[in-house]
Amino acid sequence: MESLSSQEFPGAGRPPEEGQPAAGSRCWVVARQLLAAVLLLGLSLGSPVLLVYLLRSCGPGACDSPACRALLARALASRNASASAAPCADFFSFACGEARGSRDPFQALAEENKRRLRGILETLGSQQPGSGEEQAFRFYSSCMDTDAIEAAGAGPLRQVIEELGGWRISGNWTSLDFNRTLRLLMSQYDHFPFFKAYLGPHPTPPHEPVIQIDQPEFDVPFKQEQEQKIYAQNMREYLAYLNRLGTLLGGDPDEVQEHASMSISIASQLVQFLRPLAQRRAQGKPFQVVTIDQLQPLCPSSKELAPAIDWLSCLQATFTPMSLSSSQLVVVHDLDFLKHMSRLVEDQLQNHRDFLQSHMIFSLVGTLSPALDSQFQKARRELSGKLRELTEQPPLPAHQQWLKCVEETGTFFEPTLEPLFVREVFSPGTRSAAMELFTAIKDALVARLRRLPWMDEETRKKAQDRVTQLQVKMGPPEQAPEPALVGQEYNDIHLGPSFLQSFLSGVRARRARIARGFLQPFPRHRWQVSPWGLSAHYSVSDHVLVFPAGLLQPPFFHPGYPRAVNFGAAGSIMARELLHIFSQLLLPGGCPACDTHALQEALLCLEGHYAAFPPPGRAPFNGSHTFLEDAADVGALAIALQAYNKRLLWRRGEATLPNLDLSPQQLFFLSYAQVMCRELSTQESRDTHSPPILRVHGPLSSTPAFARHFHCPHGTLLNPSRHCQLW
């Protein structure tokens, strides 16, 4: 077959059987060789008849490589080709008719990547003692030693609680300094019960790394656009979970109940202080830059900020080895939240110091549950399962110890495992083919920017320059770190005597590694994505877009796939990530020089277009907070299709998949849709994407070429009378 790789990079890193052209492609090679002679001979020799014969006989070839056979099996297993799943009426059912939660392609690929990582970890036992590979093997082995973890029981966790001062429900509590406990939680346990602090690029140019203070995360959804009945059920389940934790740690049931109820009350009050990002943007304050001494002022008249927290001490301990001072600038995402949070903490310290301590312990136990014995893990899984059931989400996959252990080992030993994983799954030929695909997508975006009616010339020129100047990384960094530097990453990881202690040592070492990375000039730390992960990452500070090796795998991408598959699946993913760079332009005030009337018309068209679809699921769907992702979905499909059509114009003999009875263009749209195949369920409140059925039907119905290639009658769901073009 003639794959993207075989066209652009002959023989680059491909197995021999996948580098052979299909019959149709060989025919086109012959046709090209004869074309020059045909043109020279002219009409006198009847050459047009010969040319027409060659063109008609050189149809697309069928791809029969192992990679294509596996892709075909997946497509046939997922696709619903019955008459009831008419592509023009419901393409999601046509492409994903048999899809259920377990067939989510991202979940399946994530698990496959972890299986590969598991195979690597289980072969590292013979490495040099003290090396990163040997430590990774020992950590993974201790995680898999469930007998030892069960034998230790709650003992290691009780030791942690005692180091934090204990808590009243266990009968051994010392009323220590609140900020001492908070400092330990942040620096030693990577736990933030009242706010979240992390290192990230500054929101404005030149995007230098800076400490950011954001809203906290919560174990359960606290009354976010929920019905009162569901909210009450959530709280009952969460209370039962906290009661179970306290009982497992030896607390008296009545006292546990009281402290668990107060912990939920504290969390509920914190939630009331939160302001959504959209609201902060509308008020012109999506973030504020302040100094540490402004958060914790020495002047009593300035106590309206957040004086309950010893910010300098807590942040310095958390981000060691960085050297901080009271004049250090930090980015605060919601200063009003910090003010209210500080007052709540001060009130609790004056009246209920023991309840405040219990709240911090309860939330810490939840964070540490993956490293605890089966009773704690089971309690956590059952809580998650019940909460998902209440919100009509699909159940979680069955618990597998190896999967949890691979995830944790990968988190703590990523610098060592990265080259081993990439060497196994990402050949130079795969990288070259992926770069060629991205170049085609990038060129298509530049071309589309020239035709946007709402974009002014200056903004258009800047946008085109940003696209052309963008760096892209496929797989791992080109420069691997020095072995000596990799070895230094693990000097602070001390394994044993319990798995919890090994886990906490890994937590501390990883946090220190991140802080050291931000002090180094080499921007390796800004990748923020593991090689076996599935999320692309854009580094705004370096203007670099990263696609990890784990994402550029079957079923989304393979050098031996037909181009229709690579452009429809991986190409649309790449285009979506490119458009995210320009999402700010679509926000109010994001493009002052643009034609705001034309832009608003395009946005309203898109909003009305999505609102016309039947609501997915039983609960009403509010698409107002998904419009940025909707715009990216529609634009990504248009860009990927334009890039694919250009390749077809210059490269004939497109390969197909046998037994699907689909043209190359139809295969392109099928591949796009099957990226979205997953269970139809109610959206999580924080999900900024539309439900999967809308992510398929919205873009396809905005693409006239889809209706043309599937012969959809005018006026059907996926061939409406009006189409929207935003990108």
Q: What is the CATH number of the domain that holds 209?
A: 1.10.1380.10
Give the 3-state DSSP-derived string for 335-399, with helices as H, strands as E and coil as C.
HHHHHHHHHHHHHHHHHCHHHHHHHHHHHHHHHHHHHCCHHHHHHHHHHHHHHHHHCCCCCCCCC
Is residue 252 annotated as part of the catalytic site, yes or no? no
Q: Mean pLDDT across the stretch 327-332? A: 94
Verify that 378 and 461 share a domain, yes or no: no
> In the chain, how many domains are there?
2
Share of the chain above pLDDT 70, in %: 83
Same domain? 488 vs 593:
yes
pLDDT at 13 > cutoff 60: no
pLDDT at 528: 67
Once rounded to an integer, what is the mean pLDDT over residues 392-399? Answer: 77
Question: Mean pLDDT, to the nearest integer, of 489-509?
Answer: 88
36 domain residue, yes or no: no
pLDDT number for residue 10: 30
pLDDT of residue 219: 82
pLDDT at residue 685 tops 70: no
Is the predicted pLDDT of residue 97 greater than 90, yes or no?
A: no
- Answer yes or no: do 288 and 428 share one domain: no
Asked if residue 210 belongs to a domain, the reply is yes
- Tell whether 328 and 439 lie within a shared domain: no
Give the per-residue pLDDT at 682: 46
Residue-wise pLDDT for 63-80, tens only, equals: 889 999 999 988 888 877
- 499 and 354 within one domain: no
User: What is the signed CA dihedral for 395, 397, 399, 404, rounded to 10 degrees?
Assistant: -120
Q: Is the pLDDT of residue 414 over 50?
A: yes
Whether 5 is in a domain gets the answer no
308 & 422 share domain: no
Q: Is the pLDDT of residue 432 over 50?
A: yes
Residue 197 Rama label (left phi>0; alpha psi -120 to 50; beta): beta
Min mean pLDDT across 382-391, 457-466, 693-702 is at 382-391
Q: Please check whether residues 206 and 290 belong to one and the same domain.
A: yes
The yes-or-no verdict on residue 139 having pLDDT over 90 is yes
- Domain shared by 96 and 230, yes or no: no
- pLDDT for 491 beyond 60: yes
What's the pLDDT score for residue 483?
53
Within a domain: residue 467?
yes
pLDDT at 570 over 70: yes
pLDDT of residue 29: 44
| pLDDT value, residue 699 | 96
Q: pLDDT band at residue 379, thresholds of 50, 70 and 90?
A: very high
pLDDT at 18: 31
Q: Which two tokens stand for residue 139?
A: 């950590």
Average pLDDT over residues 75-99: 79
Q: In the prediction, which pLDDT does 724 show?
A: 87
The lowest-confidence range among 56-60, 303-307, 401-405, 634-638 is 56-60
**Residue 130 binned pLDDT confidence (cut-offs 50, 70, 90):** confident
**pLDDT beyond 50 at 61:** yes
pLDDT at position 2, please? Answer: 32
Given a contact cutoff of 8 angstroms between Cβ atoms, the answer to whether 466 and 581 are in contact is yes
pLDDT at 453: 93
**Which one is catalytic: 577, 629, 630, 654?**
577
Average pLDDT over residues 159-169: 89
Say if residue 534's pLDDT is above 90: yes
Helix (H) or strand (E) holding 209: strand 209-214
145 is catalytic: no
Task: Select which of 90, 104, 633, 654 is catalytic.
Answer: 633
pLDDT of 279: 83
pLDDT in tens, 214-224: 999 888 877 65
The burial of 260, by beta-carbon neighbours within 10 Å (0-12 exposed, 13-18 middle, 19 or more buried), is given as: buried
User: Same structural domain for residues 388 and 424?
Assistant: no
Q: Work out the mean pLDDT of the chain and round it to a whole number.
A: 84
Task: Domain of residue 300: give its range.
Answer: 193-393
pLDDT of residue 167: 85
Give every CB contact of residue 434 below 8 A, 6+ residues apart in sequence.
474, 475, 547, 552, 557, 570
Query: Contact, 62 vs 22, CB < 8 A?
Result: yes
613 inside domain: yes
Check whether 566 has a pLDDT greater than 90: yes
Q: Per the omega criterion (within 30 degrees of 0), is the bond before 15 cis? A: no
CATH assignment at residue 442: 3.40.390.10
Mean pLDDT of 445-468: 95
Together in a domain, 109 and 218? no
pLDDT 10s digits, 171-194: 777 777 899 999 999 999 999 999
- Reported as type and span, the H/E element at residue 291 is strand 288-291
Residue 85 lies in a domain: no
Q: Return the higher-pLDDT residue of 80 and 416.
A: 416
Q: Which residues pair with 201 in a beta bridge?
A: 209
Residue 595 within a domain: yes
378 and 457 belong to one structural domain? no
The region of weakest confidence among 20-29, 311-320, 666-675, 694-703 is: 20-29
Confirm whether 717 is domain-assigned: no
Determine the pLDDT at residue 686: 59
Confidence bin at 15 (pLDDT 50/70/90): very low
- Examine the domain organization and report whether 539 and 657 are in the same domain: yes
Token pair 């497509």 is at which residue?
A: 75
Percent of the chain clearing pLDDT 90 (strictly above): 55
Across the range 161-170, mean pLDDT stands at 87
